[in-house]
Structures are given as C-alpha cells and as structure tokens.
Amino acid sequence: MSDPYPADVQPSGARPAKTSKSLFERLSGMLRREPEDRDDLKALLEDAHERDLLDAEAHAMIAGALTVSELTAADVMVPRSRIDALDISRPLAELLPFVIEAAHSRFPVYEETRDNITGILLAKDLLRCMIDPSVELRSLVRPAIFIPQSKRLNVLLREFRINRNHLVIVVDEHGGVAGLVTMENVLEQIVGEIEDEYDEEAEQTIFADGENRWRVMASTDIDRFNEAFNSRLETDEYDTVGGWLADELEHIPRRGDVVERDNLVIQVTRADARRALWLSVQAK
C-alpha cells in the first residue's frame, strides 16, 4: 500500500539545492570550533580573511576591537610635552590666538604649573565671553577627569560612553600629569586614523626622548626621516617609515619588532592591527 503522505525525495542523480549562507552564518560556523584563547580567536579571524569571508576593512576593525582590551591609556595617550593647555590666569585676549591656532574643541586648563590641571575648557564656550564680556572665564571651566596610566582602553571607552565625556587626563604613579586621552584616540585603535579638516600634514613627527634617542611617528615621511637622522632608507616603493618598516619585516609591524639600519636601532613601540604607529629610534 502506498504511503498517503510520501516524504520529499530528491530524484536520483539530482543535486541538492544550494543555499547561500550569510557572512554571519559562515563566521559563526567557524567560531563553533571553540577557540581556547585570544590567540586562537585571532587565528580564526586571519583564516576568515584569507578565505575572503572578511574583507580587509572588516578584519582590521574586528582585530582592532580585540586589541583595545589589551592596550592601556599609556599606550595611546598624547604625552605631556604635546598637550595644548591653557593658563587660566591669562586674559582671554591672550588665549584666543592660541586656541585658534591649535584648533581643538577642548583644552585642559592649568593654574601656575602644567601639573596643576584644574579643569577642561570647551572652545565653543568662549563664544559666551566674546558676546558677553562680563562672563568670567573661570566660570566656564568644567571638571577634569583623571585616570591612571594602567586604565584599560575597553574600560575607558565604556566610561566615555556612560559619562558622555570626550577627554581625560592621564596621571603617573606620583600624581603628575603624564598625558591625555581623547575618545578619538581610543576609536582610532578600532577604525584606524581619523583625520579632520584641522589636521596638518606638516605636523611635527620626530621628538627627542633622551640622549641619542627619539620617539618617531610611523607616518613620518621617509625623506624627512633620512634628513633628520642622516640615514638612507629607500624611498622607491614607500612614502612613510611605517611602510618601509613593514616591507623590511615582511609582516604588519607589531609592538617590540626591531630593525637595525644605518647605525640606528628602530623599535616598534605602538601598533594596531593595520600598521605601526610609534617608533623608538636609538643611535648606536
């Protein structure tokens, strides 16, 4: 007797219909391998990238998001020597040219010494003083938030969101000002460098860091680097020191990588998933 409710049966020799899996389903299938640690997870992401399940941009952003939890405020902060701070004791007429030239939206405010940060001043608040001269500059200063150098970036990013804050002051173990971190500094670890119309192409990128030692941004033009250090880095294929370094290492530079050239020891001190960010250069 025939079955009144026959099951669907593929005709002999027929191929099963193909179903297109979404990127999320394919990536989820890979993650079912249950990575044991963060290195396993990164290896899975690398595999997904190599198999074109993730494009370069998506891979870099996911890798950057993982890296954020491994970095601290000390890794990304603007050092004390590069902070554009305002002396609150000076009159507005003296401060305005500096504010306009620096073109920041927020400025740390100090009194007497740069270690005595008393608050944060928003550039837009200065309009009130210009419209109404009776408004006292000190009344516009907002409280500053201080964090230790060891603060994890993933924790700091969450605090930025919760507190609706965009800038914090980093202090060292002795309570002195070590630098500052903005929300942009943290987000750049995930999405890459964020530039706006106020970023200058010819900014200073080489900084003295002791006797025969310098801190160098990896984005430094090779010609400028060669001129500063009397070196002979090749300029045929790459424009920046970071690009040249990646070619020398034959991989994306990682923190701790070292290359020696022209009596210089070049070490990567800060990097993200895409490239080197900061270098230490030591003369032999």
pTM of the prediction?
0.55
pLDDT classification of 18: cutoffs 50, 70, 90: very low
Same domain, 274 and 168: no
Q: Would you say residue 12 lies in a domain? A: no
Say whether pLDDT at 19 is over 50. Answer: no
Q: Would you say residue 14 lies in a domain? A: no
Structure tokens at 58: 């998506």
Q: Which of 161, 191, 221 is the last residue in one of the domains?
A: 191
pLDDT of residue 169: 95
Same domain, 62 and 78: no
Say whether pLDDT at 181 is over 80. Answer: yes
From 124, 132, 172, 134, select the one nearest 150 (Cα to Cα): 172
Same domain, 100 and 170: yes
Q: Would you say residue 85 lies in a domain? A: yes
Same domain, 97 and 178: yes
Q: What is the pLDDT of residues 117-155, one digit of tens each?
A: 999 999 999 888 888 888 888 899 999 999 999 999 989
Specify whether the CB–CB gap between 135 and 129 falls below 8 A: yes
Say whether pLDDT at 20 is over 60. Answer: no
Mean pLDDT of 96-122: 90
* Mean pLDDT score of the chain: 80
Q: Would you say residue 22 lies in a domain? A: no
pLDDT of residue 180: 94
Q: Would you say residue 7 lies in a domain? A: no
Q: Which of 47, 68, 89 is the last residue in one of the domains?
A: 68
CA distance to 73, 114, 148, 157, per residue, from 76 (Å): 6, 20, 13, 13
Same domain, 83 and 184: yes
Q: Would you say residue 157 lies in a domain? A: yes
- Sign of the dihedral through C-alpha 250, 255, 260, 264: positive
Scan for tokens 């969450």, then name that residue.
158
Q: What is the pLDDT of residues 211-226, one digit of tens each?
A: 888 989 888 989 889 9
Give one DSSP letter per residue of 163-207, joined into a string.
Answer: HT--EEEEE-TTS-EEEEEEHHHHHHHHH-----TT--TT---EE
Say whether pLDDT at 189 is over 80. Answer: no
To 5 degrees, how large is the angle CA 19–CA 21–CA 23? Answer: 165
Same domain, 64 and 78: no
Phi, psi (degrees; rounded to nearest 5) at 154 = -65, -35
pLDDT classification of 170: cutoffs 50, 70, 90: very high
The SS3 of residue 73 is helix
Same domain, 87 and 174: yes
Range of the domain at 223: 206-283
How many structural domains comprise the chain? 3
pLDDT of residue 247: 87
CA distance to 28, 39, 58, 248, 276, per residue, from 32 (Å): 6, 15, 20, 37, 32
Q: What is the pLDDT of residues 232-277, one digit of tens each?
A: 888 777 788 998 998 899 888 888 999 999 999 999 988 877 788 8
Same domain, 64 and 87: no
**Rounded Cα–Cα distance for residues 201 and 199 (Å):** 7
Same domain, 82 and 180: yes
Same domain, 97 and 179: yes
Q: Would you say residue 28 lies in a domain? A: no
Same domain, 219 and 272: yes
Same domain, 135 and 155: yes
pLDDT of residue 17: 46
* CATH number assigned to the domain comprising residue 147: 3.10.580.10
Structure tokens at 23: 């990127």
Say whether pLDDT at 62 is over 80. Answer: no
